[in-house]
Amino acid sequence: MHLINLKDCIEFMAGDATVLREILHPDKADLKLRYSLAHATVKPGIASKPHKLKTSEVYYILEGEGLMFINNESKPISKDATIYIPPNAIQHIENTGKTNLKFICIVDPAWRVEDEEVL
């Protein structure tokens, strides 16, 4: 059994300026996964940098509220929203609330530095 607690995952600043904790990645444990799973936080009044991935991504919003930008479209997001981000889409997320915006990121196939471009 592979069990991990979020507090045991190392927190770091990602290239897009979100605070990340990588939970699952097939390169970091002996796991038969195609995807990677991370927990992200964006502080109030902050937006991630526009970026794009060669792979698809899904965000699931845990707490907070904000705006999600994908290519030329934006929509308000809040707790329990799920956002699909297609490969090569220019994306960023902005926290418009007064509390941290927290969300889960699933990247399939698993995130790799060479698959991301920060704009």
Q: How do residues 9-66 score in pLDDT, each as one tens digit? A: 999 999 888 999 999 999 888 888 999 999 999 999 999 999 999 999 999 999 999 9
Residue entry with tokens 């705006």: 67
Q: Which pair of structure tokens corresponds to residue 90?
A: 């220019």
Model confidence pTM above 0.75:
yes
| Strand boundaries in 14-100, DSSP class E | 19-24, 36-42, 51-53, 56-63, 65-70, 73-78, 82-85, 91-95
Q: Residue 93: its pLDDT value, please?
A: 97
